[in-house]
Amino acid sequence: MCGLTGVIFQTKRRRLAELEEIGRIFTELLLLNQARGKDAAGLAMIRRDGAYSLFKRPGPAAKLVMEEKYAEVIGRLDNATTCILGHTRWKTRGTEANSLNNQPIRAGAVIGTHNGTIVNADRLFKRYRLRRTAETDSEFIFRLADKKECIEDFEVCIRDVRGGMSAVFTRTSASDMVLVIKGNKPLTLWYHKGFRAVFYSSEEWPLTRVIGMSRSIVRLDVELFTMSVFNVADLMDFRQCDLYFKGNMRSYSSWGYDIFSSMEP
């Protein structure tokens, strides 16, 4: 179990006060997602030109946000930012002392975060002849996305995954697009009309506590076992496709994935 949280920005001119408020909201969401993992925490901020800032450390989010480097990264938030990807880690494979095992993970041109465990990751790395720099299974998703630039090719290969997965990632070479996998692990996305931004969290309660429900909020209808592609030009006009893979329980539905594993934390 890990915590995913972040912000996807629709193209808009924002004043400094609004950018600072979004930074504050992200920080509070990251802190609340600490309940899902205290072994490590991190964030990545990606810009329209493909430049990015990545900061992650062992230990809980409460420790991360107190560091000077965190304030420096959040302070870079401006109108060229396309997304902020946040992660709180509950380690399964790979020591948190090795920063490469912590998230967000950069794999070539891809930067992303993952919640879940891919139980056959070792075999998949070998099958697809992917480079591997860390011990964690999560790296497989982003190495595959880096190698398979075509979304359709990526979808076909993901069918080989066994285990648990929800993930958010982007390419520095195409940072105007953010891809969201909602598999058999929880993930909630809200569109804020005023900010023209999507805020997301593994569970909904942090969003409710930090942002609160209002007429400005639109709960996005993101189905289980799908991949959504968001373009920063218009976040409400996202496209969604089915994404099939097998969960980590013994019985599988006729669609090829375990219908019960979607309820796991």
Q: What is the pLDDT of residues 94-145, one digit of tens each?
A: 899 999 999 999 999 999 999 999 999 999 999 999 999 999 999 999 999 9
* Residue 249 near residue 261, CB atoms below 8 Å: yes
Residue 149: the pLDDT is: 82
For Cα atoms 222, 227, 228, give the angle at the middle one, nearest 5 degrees.
60
* Residue 226 near residue 243, CB atoms below 8 Å: yes
Residue 160: the pLDDT is: 93
263 pLDDT more than 60: no
Token representation of residue 233: 């030009």
Residue 248: the pLDDT is: 58
Residue 13: the pLDDT is: 95
Q: Where are the beta strands (DSSP E) in the chain?
A: 3-9, 40-47, 52-58, 81-89, 105-107, 110-115, 166-171, 174-182, 188-192, 197-201, 217-219, 226-231, 239-242
227 pLDDT more than 70: yes
Average pLDDT, the chain: 92
Token representation of residue 244: 């099939």
Residue percentage of the chain with pLDDT more than 90: 89
Residue 26: the pLDDT is: 98
Point out which residues pair with 182 in neighbouring strands.
Answer: 166, 226
Q: Is 172 helix (H, G, I), strand (E, B) or coil?
A: coil
From the DSSP assignment, how many helices (H) and strands (E) are in the chain?
A: 7, 13
pLDDT tens digits, 60-101: 999 999 999 999 999 999 999 999 999 999 988 889 999 999
152 pLDDT more than 70: yes
Cis amide leading into 104 (omega within 30): yes
Could you tell me the pTM of the whole model? Answer: 0.92
* Domains delineated in the chain: 3-263 (3.60.20.10)
Burial class (CB in 10 A: 0-12, 13-18, 19+), 175: buried
The stretches of 75-138 forming alpha helices (DSSP H) are 121-127
Long-range contacts of 137-141 (CB under 8 A, 24+ apart): 137/92, 137/93, 137/163, 138/103, 138/105, 138/114, 138/167, 139/105, 139/107, 141/112, 141/114, 141/165, 141/167, 141/169, 141/181
pLDDT tens digits, 162-196: 999 999 999 999 999 999 999 999 999 999 999 99
Q: Is 117 helix (H, G, I), strand (E, B) or coil?
A: coil
- pLDDT confidence band for 40 (50 / 70 / 90): very high
Token representation of residue 131: 């480079």
